[in-house]
Chain A
Amino acid sequence: MIIKMEGIGKIYDTGKVQVEALKDVDLSIDKGEFVAVMGPSGSGKSTLMNILGCLDRATGGYYELDGVSISELDDAELANIRNRKIGFVFQSFNLLPKMNALQNVELPMVYAGAGKKERREKALEALDKVGLLDRIDHKPNELSGGQKQRVAIARALVNDPAIILADEPTGNLDTVSGEDIMAIFQELNREGVTIVLVTHEHDIARHTKRIVRFRDGFLISDEKVENPIDARDMIREMKAQVAR
C-alpha cells in the first residue's frame, strides 16, 4: 500500500474563525493505481492534495506514505520525502523560467544530491519518456503549453517517486494537448507508476481507474471506473476528425 490515510482532518485556524477543510477522511491507495480526486471548489480536494504531497500537515488522523508515517516528521524530513517519494505536476506547470528543459528536470536531483553525470543521464531518460529529447535546451517560454507540461512530468518522474500527484494537469491546455498528457499518464501507469490526479472535469477523470469524490470536506464516494477512456483512442479519433 502506497498511501494509507485514517481519520485525516484539517482545521485552518485563522485566529477568529476555525475552518474545517477535511473531516475524518479514510483513503488507501495501492501501488499501480490511477486515481482521480474530484469535487467542487471548497470541497477539500486541494487540502487533500497538499497533505498527500507533504506540503502541509493534517491536524488530525494518521497518514502513511510508502511505509513512512508522515505525521511525526519535521520540515527538513518532509522536504526530503517530497524530494524522493513524490512527483508533482501542477496546473500552471511551475517550471523555472530561467532554466532550460534539461535543467528543470534535473532540479529535484540537485536537491537529492545526485552527481552531475547521473543527473544528466536520468533527466535525459525522463525527457525521452515524455518524448521531448529534441527540446532539452529550450527554455519554458520557447515551449508550448503541452510541451511545458511534459517537461513538468519528466521532472516529476526523475527521482523515481512512489507516487505522482497531478493537480489539474490539463486545466491550462487545449483538448488535444490535454489528451496527449493523459496518454502519457496512462502509459506511465501501465508501466506501474502510481498516479493521483485532481480534476473537476469528468471527461478527464474518466481516463483514470478510480474516482474519489469530495464535498464539504467529506469523502462522499469512491468508485471504480468502468471502461476507462483510452487517450490513444481519443487522439486517433480527433486526428481522424481533423482529416475529414
Chain B
Amino acid sequence: MNFSESFIQALDSLKSNKLRSFLTMLGIVMGVFSIITIMALGSATESYMNAQFEKIGANTISITYKNMNVDKKDWLTLKDMEYVKEAAPEIKNISTNIQKRGTIRIDDKTKDALVLGVSSQFKNFGIIEMKYGRFINDFDVTKRSKFVVVDELFVKKFFKEGQDVTGETITLKTSSGTSVSLKIIGVMSSGENMFEGIMESDLIPAVIYMPITTVQQLYPNSERLSSIDVSLVEKDKLREVGRRIVQYLEMKHGSEDVYMAQNSADIQKAFSDVLGVVSSILLVIAVITLIVGGIGIVNILLVSVTERIREIGIRKALGAQKKDIVLQFLTESMLMTGIAGLVGILLGVVAGGIISALIKIPPVVDLKVIIMAFLGSVALGIIFGVYPAKRAADLDPIESLRYE
C-alpha cells in the first residue's frame, strides 16, 4: 500500500469521527497557535524596540547617580556639562534635563504636568519630531525665555486636535506656588505609541518642555540635574568614554563611586535580554501545551486501535503487512497534527496581526518559523503516533478477528 492511499484512508477515518478528531487536534492547535503568536509578538517587539533605539541614536551615554540620595556637593549641575566636555572632547552632542511638577491652566481647564527643563541639544537624543513651530534652542536657554514646547496629546486635551497652537499662552503654576505665563513655540508629534490610550488618561500628567534655565529660575533649589547625556560618533568607544567621564567627574567632586555611565548599547541589550527571557518562558509553556496535546493524540489513537482491532485483524488476514498497519496509523496521526499545525499557524498569524495592530507595532511574520512550526507538527504526529501504530501492528490476527 502506498502513501497516497493510506493518506486518503486516514482522511476518511478522521472524517468519520469529526468531533473526536477536532477535539484531539485542539491541543496541538493551541500549542502551535501559542508558539506562533509568541514568536510573532516577540520579534515584532524586538524589531520595534530596535527601530526606536535606532531613532534615538544608538551611540549615547547617560551619566547618572549610582544612588539617588547624594550629598549636595556631588550633585550634577550645569557646570558639570563643561567638565564632561573637558573629559571627552570627542563627544558629538551633550544634553541634560531636570524634571519638576506643576499644574497647567488654560481658561478653566487644569491638568497636572511633568515639567522637563532641557538643554538645547535634548532634541538630538529623543524621538522628537516637530509638528508645528520649533524646539528649544541655545538662545532660549541663554535668555531664560518663558517658552514652552508641548505635544499633540496636549493640544488634543486643551485645544482642538491637530490645531496649530504656536503663539498661544498657557499658565503654569509651579509646585512651590509661583504662576508664570508661557508662550507655546512648538508642537511635537506624538507619533504612534502603544501607550497612547493610557497617556490620554487624566491620571497621567501632561509633559511639557521648557529651557532648563527657565525651569531653574522658577523652581528654587533646582541646580541638581537628573542626568547628563552625551552622544558619540563611534559606537565601540561608548564604554571607554563613559568610564573616563565618570572618573573625571568624581575627581572634580572629590568623591568616589557616586556616578555611573549607562550606554545605549547596554540598555538595548538589557531590553533584549529581558524580552528573550519572557519569550523563552512563554515558549516553554507553549511547548508544554504541545506535549499535553500530543498525549491527547496518543490517547485517542490508542482508543482508536482498540475500536478497530477487528478491522486490523481483517486487514491482516487479507494480507496487510505490519508496515502497512504502522503506515496507516502514522499517517492518521501525522494528518491530525499536520492539520492542527496549519490551523494553529493560521490562528497565530491572525492573532499576532491583531495584537500588533492593537499595540501599534508593525507585525513581523517569519516564514522560517511558520515552516518550522508545520514540520514540527508533522514530526509530533510521527512521535506520538509510533506507539499506537506499533500496538496496532503487533496485534495477533486470530485474536483480532475474534474480538467483539
Contacts and interface: CB of A to CB of B under 8 A. Distances in A.
Q: Do A and B come from one complex?
A: yes
Interface of A: 50, 53, 55-56, 75-76, 79-80, 82-84, 88, 90, 94-96, 98, 107-108, 110-113, 155, 159
Interface in B318-338: 318-324
Contacts of B324: 111
Given A96-B314, A98-B12, A98-B16, A79 B321 contact: yes
B285 interface: no
Contacts, number: 61
Interface of B: 1-2, 5, 12-13, 16, 310-311, 313-324, 397-398, 401
Contact of B1 (A88, A98, A110): A110
B398 A83 contact: no
A53 B12 contact: no
B172 to A, nearest CB: 81
Contact of A96 (B1, B311, B321, B322): B311
Given A98-B12, A110-B5, A111-B1, A88 B322 contact: no
A55 B5 contact: no
Given A96-B314, A111-B324, A80 B319 contact: yes
Contacts of B5: 110
Given A55-B397, A90-B401, A107 B318 contact: yes
- In this complex, the member of A53, A79, A84, A111 whose beta carbon has the largest number of chain B beta carbons within 10 angstroms is A79
Contact of B318 (A75, A76, A83, A98): A83
Contacts of A155: 318
30 contacts: A50-B398, A53-B317, A55-B316, A55-B401, A75-B321, A76-B321, A76-B322, A79-B319, A79-B321, A79-B322, A80-B321, A82-B316, A82-B317, A82-B319, A83-B318, A83-B319, A94-B310, A94-B314, A96-B311, A96-B314, A96-B315, A98-B12, A98-B13, A108-B319, A110-B5, A111-B1, A111-B315, A111-B318, A111-B324, A155-B318
Given A75-B322, A90-B401, A94-B310, A55 B317 contact: yes
Nearest to A165: B317
A164 B315 CA distance: 17
B321 A88 contact: no
Contacts of B315: 96, 107, 111
Nearest to A94: B314
Given A76-B323, A79-B320, 20 more contacts: A50-B398, A55-B316, A55-B397, A55-B401, A56-B398, A75-B321, A79-B316, A79-B319, A79-B321, A79-B322, A82-B318, A94-B310, A94-B314, A94-B401, A95-B314, A96-B315, A98-B13, A108-B318, A110-B5, A111-B320
A107 B315 CA distance: 8
A111 B319 contact: yes
Contacts of A76: 321-323
Contacts of B323: 76
B317 A112 contact: no
Contacts of A56: 398
A84 B318 CA distance: 9
Contacts of B1: 110-111, 113
Given A96-B311, A98-B12, A55 B398 contact: yes
Nearest to A98: B16
A214 to B, nearest CB: 18
Nearest to A50: B398
Contacts of B317: 53, 55, 82, 88, 94
A33 to B, nearest CB: 22
Contacts of A80: 319, 321
Contacts of A110: 1, 5
A80 to B, nearest CB: 7
Contacts of A75: 321-322
Contacts of B397: 55
A138 to B, nearest CB: 17
The 4 lowest CB-CB distance pairs between A and B, nearest first, are A83-B319, A111-B319, A79-B321, A108-B318
- In this complex, the member of B5, B16, B319 whose beta carbon has the largest number of chain A beta carbons within 10 angstroms is B319
Contacts of B311: 96
A225 to B, nearest CB: 28
A110 B3 CA distance: 12
Contact of B319 (A50, A84, A96, A98): A84
A56 B13 CA distance: 29
Given A50-B398, A55-B398, A94-B401, A88 B16 contact: no
Contacts of A90: 401
A96 B5 CA distance: 16
A90 B313 CA distance: 12
A21 to B, nearest CB: 12
B396 to A, nearest CB: 9
A88 B401 CA distance: 12
Nearest to B313: A94
Nearest to A88: B317
- In this complex, the member of A108, A111, A113 whose beta carbon has the largest number of chain B beta carbons within 10 angstroms is A111
A154 B219 CA distance: 103
Nearest to B316: A79
A80 B310 CA distance: 19
A56 B16 CA distance: 33
B318 A88 contact: yes
B273 to A, nearest CB: 55
A216 to B, nearest CB: 21
Nearest to A90: B401
- In this complex, the member of A55, A56, A96, A107 whose beta carbon has the largest number of chain B beta carbons within 10 angstroms is A55
Contact of A111 (B13, B310, B321, B398): B321
B301 to A, nearest CB: 17
